[in-house]
Amino acid sequence: MDAIILLGAPGAGKGTIADLVKEKSGYLHVSTGDMLRAAVKAQTAVGLKAKSFMEAGELVPDEVIIGIVRERMAQGGQDEKYMFDGFPRTLEQARLLDAVMEEAGSRVSRVFLLEASKELLVSRISGRRICRNCGAVYHVQNIPPQVEGVCDSCGGELYQRKDDSEETVLNRLEVYKKQTAALIDYYDAKSILLRLDASQPKEVTQARILEVLSRS
């Protein structure tokens, strides 16, 4: 069993890179959000515990998140390889994940930190537009629709999510910076952190990650 982690601020492209890497590697892309929803739907003991916090509008505690990660990893075989996207988010989650990996006789082998300027991150997120009807995603500069404000696929109205506004994005980036500084130092001290320029074309970042993994 092996695990790698993609770290990066909102807008760094973690999900996009994860999708590209999984296509050409044996790594399973693991999203804690997807696992939470699956555990709640399956009504596992940990899923029901998570549901109680979610329904109360509270953050799901680290111990519960890790419990769901442990459940998911228990479903895979000893040869399974996991790629965590944006998880862990805090130093405590990182330590708990290490404990889970140790229980399985393994470890986190690589952490890829996707870095980009604040200006680029704000531009990427605040320029995002989503179709109210089909959920298609556009960007006012990078992926503009043929007709402004109208979805190419279904003709639905395009809108900007509240948490994609520039003010909200700046706040999200500040929260990320505070949460992740200790996390970066933690993995750097283990000599498993690799910094990557997330302003490059996604194919360049994907190639670099695959090159590093091929040498592992």
Give me the long-range contacts of 184-193 (CB less than 8 A, separation at least 24): 184/7, 184/113, 186/91, 186/94, 187/5, 187/7, 187/94, 187/108, 187/111, 192/108, 192/109, 192/110, 192/111, 193/111, 193/113
Please identify which residue in the block is written with the tokens 């050409």. Answer: 24
Active-site residue numbers?
14, 89, 128, 161, 172
| 195 CB-side CA count, 13 A | 6
